[in-house]
């Protein structure tokens, strides 16, 4: 049982954030494992421990950066594969999914785990795209996952409640924050992560080509929220509320 966990390395959320000349997030400083991905890593480890399998961390990174994947290796992942190529700068979600799916196929994954969305991108589409490219089922928004033989059973968070979903392996599963409690790397884990194998690949190694399909043309600060209006009920509150709703064309 080989579980590929897709991870993203993002600039330290606690540090200063700035944009580069291309109006994209500057990733030249310290990067960390996206906290959203730590849940997938932990779930992968638990499933691998229960099935006698192993976790392979998969990541698409700029400048061959490995600090974030080392965090996942310190948690217990067996190895990592990172793809770094200048042609991937400005890659859109589908290009990212194509690269990750190609790596999953290359390592012989039986299952791919992802976060629901990355903390700095928020497209929320990569998991389903990976599944489509691999021709596998996609189980999304999972808040609880178990392996039952060759089946995956997941509690899927939906607007109207929780669905219990089953899928045959292989499949792609995206997990929500809180699906499990990520472990803290032990000192032994941190030390052993330094010697675990991290395979560096380029697009050519995967037989892929890519070009930037998106560019950022402008960035604007979000508008500040205005102070609300307090309506005290002195007998005229109903009329005031109706007038307010009419003013914003709700009524």
Examine residue 211 and state whether it is found in any structural domain, yes or no: no
Q: How far apart are CA 123 and CA 125, in angstroms?
A: 5
pLDDT computed for residue 232 by the predictor: 85
**Tokens 């219990």 belong to residue:** 164
Per-residue pLDDT of the chain (251 residues; tens, 9 = 90+): 999 999 999 888 888 888 888 888 888 778 899 999 999 999 999 999 999 999 999 999 888 889 999 999 999 999 999 999 999 988 899 999 999 999 999 999 999 999 998 888 788 899 999 999 999 999 999 999 999 889 999 999 888 899 999 999 999 999 999 889 999 999 999 999 999 999 999 999 999 998 777 788 888 888 888 888 888 888 889 999 999 889 888 87
Report yes or no on 111 lying in a domain.
Answer: yes
Angle between helix 67-75 and helix 35-51 axes, rounded to 10 deg: 40
Domain extent for 176: 2-206
Number of domains comprising the chain: 1
Ranges of H-type helices in 157-229: 187-193, 203-206
Q: pLDDT at position 229, please?
A: 81
Q: Are 218 and 23 in contact (CB under 8 A)?
A: yes
Residue 56 resides in a domain: yes
233 within domain boundaries: no
Residue 224 lies in a domain: no
Residue at 235 is within a domain: no
Please indicate, yes or no, if residue 234 is contained in any of the structural domains. no
Q: Return the CATH number at 139.
A: 3.40.50.620
Secondary structure (DSSP) of 118-154: -TTT----HHHHHHHHHT--EEEEEEEEEEETTEEEE
Going by C-alpha positions, the residue among 31, 151, 104, 160 that lies closest to residue 114 is 104
What is the DSSP-derived secondary structure letter of residue 213? -
Q: Does 64 map to a domain? A: yes
Instruction: Say how many C-beta atoms besides its own lie within 10 A of residue 124's C-beta.
Output: 15
């Amino acid at each position: 049982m080989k579980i590929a966990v897709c991870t993203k390395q993002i600039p330290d959320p606690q540090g200063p954030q700035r944009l580069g000349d291309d109006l994209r997030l500057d990733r030249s400083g310290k990067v960390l494992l996206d906290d959203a991905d730590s849940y997938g890593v932990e779930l992968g480890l638990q499933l691998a421990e229960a099935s006698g399998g192993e976790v392979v961390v998969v990541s698409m990174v700029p400048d061959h950066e490995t600090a974030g994947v080392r965090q996942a290796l310190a948690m217990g992942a067996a190895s990592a594969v990172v793809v770094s190529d200048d042609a991937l700068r400005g890659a859109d979600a589908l290009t990212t999914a194509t690269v990750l799916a190609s790596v999953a196929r290359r390592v012989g994954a039986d299952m791919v785990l992802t976060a629901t969305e990355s903390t700095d991108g928020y497209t929320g589409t990569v998991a389903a795209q990976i599944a489509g490219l691999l021709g596998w089922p996609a189980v999304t928004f999972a808040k609880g996952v178990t392996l039952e033989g060759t089946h995956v059973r997941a509690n899927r968070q939906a607007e109207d409640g929780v669905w219990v979903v089953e899928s045959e392996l292989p499949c792609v599963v995206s997990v929500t924050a809180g699906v499990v409690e990520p472990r803290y790397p032990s000192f032994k884990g941190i030390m052993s992560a330094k010697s675990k194998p991290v395979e560096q690949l380029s697009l050519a190694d995967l037989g892929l080509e890519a070009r930037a399909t998106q560019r950022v043309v402008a960035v604007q600060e979000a508008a500040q929220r205005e102070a609300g209006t307090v309506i005290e009920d002195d007998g005229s509150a109903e009329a005031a509320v109706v007038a307010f709703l009419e003013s914003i064309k709700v009524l």
